[in-house]
Amino acid sequence: MSHATGLKYLKKDSLPLMWCSGCGNGIVLAALLRAFEELGYGNHNTVVVTGIGCWGKADDYITTNALHTTHGRALAFATGIKAVNPKLNVVVLMGDGDGVTIGGNHFIHAARRNIDLTAIVVNNCNYGMTGGQFSATTPADSFTSTTAYGNPERELDICALAGVAGANYVARGTVYHGRALQNHIKEALNKKGFSLVEVVSPCPTHFGRNNKMKSAVNMLRWLKEKGVTREEYERMTGPEKNGYFVIGKLADRNAPDFNTRYEEIRARALGQ
């Protein structure tokens, strides 16, 4: 294990972080910056693209190139960057609202195109920035500021979606399982093609408070208990599975990425 701190990628003059105490975003940011350091990423050849949300503010704290885009559209902007400059490391940071609710269509198609981006979706099960309304990943029956009597809708499995859409790498981690998270991020960054790391993370201010997990400690306990390996999950029977989720690597393949495919098409076009 290296001793990368990632601190050299942290914009010190933007501190303190805007996030609430107990928010998981800082832990994800730290894991990401350490992964940058371990992989030797340069500021000039890396672009961090964010959408809008609490996690989407992360670009304010990172020294690399950055593009803070509109809500839900970060992957579309990132696609344009990567399509014209395959040499850049393009990392896309989105919340669950940003990445798979308003931005669900772009998410599906970025994965399907297998464009060489790394998406880090922080899933705090609600819209943190706008006051804790429900998102596509809010569990059924949970309470949010727009589901006072419980959520009538079912939650979306972000990793399953990325997997069927064609992502080359899919993993789910939590901010409780820090070391595993950093490894997933590193593997995702290293992977050519579309890679996704979903990070289940606490929003004590809204989701926690609304669901009897007011303290950050309670929320971390929730992650510790409910995040299980695939083997553990499969051993459970139907109703036992309720509330549990699988953590770990969920897909790892090497289908050609968009830029590689486009190079082939170019060669064909020029041959004609």
Partner 1 sequence: MVETAKLIQGNQAIAEGAIYAGARFFAGYPITPSSEVAEECSRRMPRVGGVYMQMEDEIASMGAIVGASLAGVKSFTATSGPGFSLMQENLGFAVMAEVPCVVVNVQRSGPSTGLATKPAQSDIMQVRWGRHGDQIVIALSPSSVKECFDLTVQAFNLSEKFRVPVILAADEIVAHMRENFTPPAPGELQVIDRKKPTVPPEQYKPFEPESDGIAPLAAYGSEYVFHVTSSMHGPEGVSNNNPANATWKVSQLHKKLELYRDEIVLTKTFDVEDMDILLVAFGAVTRAARAAAVEARKTGIKAGVLQLVTVWPFPDRELAQLAGRVKTVVVPEMNYSGQVAGEVRRVLGPDPDIKQVNKFNGQIITPQDILKAII
Ligand X SMILES: Cc1ncc(C[n+]2csc(CCOP(=O)(O)OP(=O)(O)O)c2C)c(N)n1
> Among candidates 44, 190, 195, 173, which has minimal Cα distance to 118?
195
Specify whether the CB–CB gap between 33 and 7 falls below 8 A. Answer: yes
Report residue 257 as tokens: 């990425």
Q: Does 99 bind ligand SF4 (CB under 6 A)?
A: no
Segment contacting partner 1 (CB under 8 A): 29-37, 65-73, 154-162, 182-190?
65-73
Segment contacting partner 1 (CB under 8 A): 28-36, 78-86, 211-219, 227-235?
78-86
Nearer to ligand SF4, 166 or 173 (CB): 173
Q: Does 17 bind ligand SF4 (CB under 6 A)?
A: no
Residue type, 113: R
Q: Does 55 bind ligand X (CB under 6 A)?
A: yes
Q: Does 144 bind ligand SF4 (CB under 6 A)?
A: no
CA distance 134 to 136: 7
> Among candidates 110, 120, 46, which has minimal Cα distance to 76?
110
Q: Which residue has the tokens 């929730």?
A: 222
Q: Does 130 bind partner 1 (CB under 8 A)?
A: no
Q: Does 54 bind ligand SF4 (CB under 6 A)?
A: yes
CA distance 98 to 103: 6
Whole-angstrom CA distances from 9 to 20, 78, 123 are: 21, 20, 23
Q: Does 124 bind ligand SF4 (CB under 6 A)?
A: yes
Q: Residues 198-217 vs ligand SF4: string with x where CB under 6 A?
A: -----xxxx-----------
Strands 118-123 and 248-252: unpaired
Segment contacting partner 1 (CB under 8 A): 25-33, 71-79, 135-143, 193-201?
71-79
DSSP single-letter state for residue 192: S
Residue 77 binding: pick among partner 1, ligand X, ligand SF4, none (C-beta 5-8 Å cut-off by kind): partner 1
Nearer to ligand X, 119 or 228 (CB): 119
